[in-house]
Amino acid sequence: MELIRGLHNLRPRHQGCVTTIGAFDGVHHGHQAVLRQLIEQGKALALPTVVVVFEPLPREYFAPKQAPARLMSFREKFKAFEQLGIDRVLRIPFTPGFREMGAKEFIHKVFVDGLAAKHIIVGDDLRFGRDRGGNFDLLKREGAMYGFDVVPTSTLAIHGERVSSTRIRKALEEANFDLAEELLGKPFSITGRVIVGQQLGRQLDAPTANLQLHRLRAPLSGVYAVEVKIDKQLQGGVANIGTRPTVDDSLTAILEVHLLDFNQDIYGKTIEVIFRKKIRNEQKFDSIEQLKQQIHQDIATGREYLQAS
């Protein structure tokens, strides 16, 4: 799969395609239905498929502290597109200049002059361009003028309710990992590269693998029993995701994983942390010694759950 970094990197060979645009956070069952529809249309027209995304997401640009927590980093999203069989991803930087672009200019720069799209699949609630002035009807009218079809996506429901990223975030907040998995089509996980941390875990007799989250906020907070995929092998563990209030009270969320019965050097490796059960909320302790005692209790609780499951 090809990643096109910005409109300025579009070339004549990129013209002529079927395309869709959106946040696709989580690439859940609803998104997957849209992408399968796109792939089927691409095969029918013998054209490549292109997914258009923004980085950062517009809501992150306008209000980073209030924006919903990401279910996926861009790297995780890109991998999900690749696994589904998408041909290309056009990643457009959301900049002040792009923010001021009118809806018709947006259509021309992206879909007409940029991609020369022949078929576009989008939600009928789509809003784009300056002051969200563009919508499905405008895109359809422009398509009639410039020779591309525009069709709406179908809504997918599970248990009588629409599948959405918002619904998945709510399930994660409630530690309902079974529902999150049902909506996502796979267990909720976070993938990242193991980095060198402050080595505090070693001082607490519970060494941890620290992961960069590559997102402004995490959709989870607390201590969890997890499974960790390392080199295609699953390893049990206990993870803390949060701001470590006892240690430094940072505003930036950190994911730390203590691997059970594991003593290998994995610095620099990319691992996947699969969340299975919530053990407790994050809390601030009066002393490091109290924190140490609680960590070892968490490890015992996590071990007991994983052995029983």
Q: Are 183 and 62 in contact (CB under 8 A)?
A: no
Q: What integer pLDDT is reported at residue 282 of this predicted model?
A: 86
99-102 own/partner pairs: CB under 8 Å, 24+ apart = 99/58, 99/61, 99/130, 100/130, 101/129, 101/130, 102/129, 102/130, 102/133
Q: Are 84 and 44 in contact (CB under 8 A)?
A: no
Strand partners, 90: 4, 52
Q: Tokens representing 82?
A: 């690749």
Q: For residue 171, tell me if it sits in a domain.
A: no
Q: What integer pLDDT is reported at residue 247 of this predicted model?
A: 46
Q: Are residues 30 and 118 in the same domain?
A: yes
Q: What is the CATH number of the domain that holds 302?
A: 2.40.30.30
Full residue range of the structural domain in which residue 140 is found = 2-158
Q: Are residues 131 and 222 in the same domain?
A: no
Q: For residue 164, tell me if it sits in a domain.
A: no
Domains: count for the chain: 2
Q: What is the CATH number of the domain that holds 43?
A: 3.40.50.620
Evaluated on CA atoms 285, 287, 288, 290, the torsion sign reads negative
Q: What integer pLDDT is reported at residue 204 of this predicted model?
A: 55
Q: Are residues 206 and 108 in the same domain?
A: no
pTM score: 0.91
Q: What integer pLDDT is reported at residue 62 of this predicted model?
A: 85
Q: What integer pLDDT is reported at residue 246 of this predicted model?
A: 45
Q: Are residues 97 and 216 in the same domain?
A: no
Q: For residue 218, tell me if it sits in a domain.
A: yes
Q: Are residues 154 and 214 in the same domain?
A: no
Q: What integer pLDDT is reported at residue 252 of this predicted model?
A: 63
Residue 52: which H helix or E strand, with range?
Answer: strand 49-55
pLDDT tens, N- to C-terminus, the chain (309 residues): 999 999 999 999 999 999 999 999 999 999 999 999 999 999 999 999 999 999 998 888 888 888 899 999 999 999 999 999 999 999 999 988 888 899 999 999 999 999 999 999 998 788 888 888 889 999 999 999 999 999 999 889 999 999 999 999 999 999 999 999 999 999 999 999 998 866 555 555 678 899 988 787 889 999 999 999 999 899 999 999 986 544 455 556 789 999 999 988 899 999 999 999 999 998 888 788 888 889 999 999 999 999 998
Q: Are residues 134 and 221 in the same domain?
A: no
Q: Judging by DSSP bridges, how do beta strands 189-195 and 134-135 pair with one another?
A: unpaired
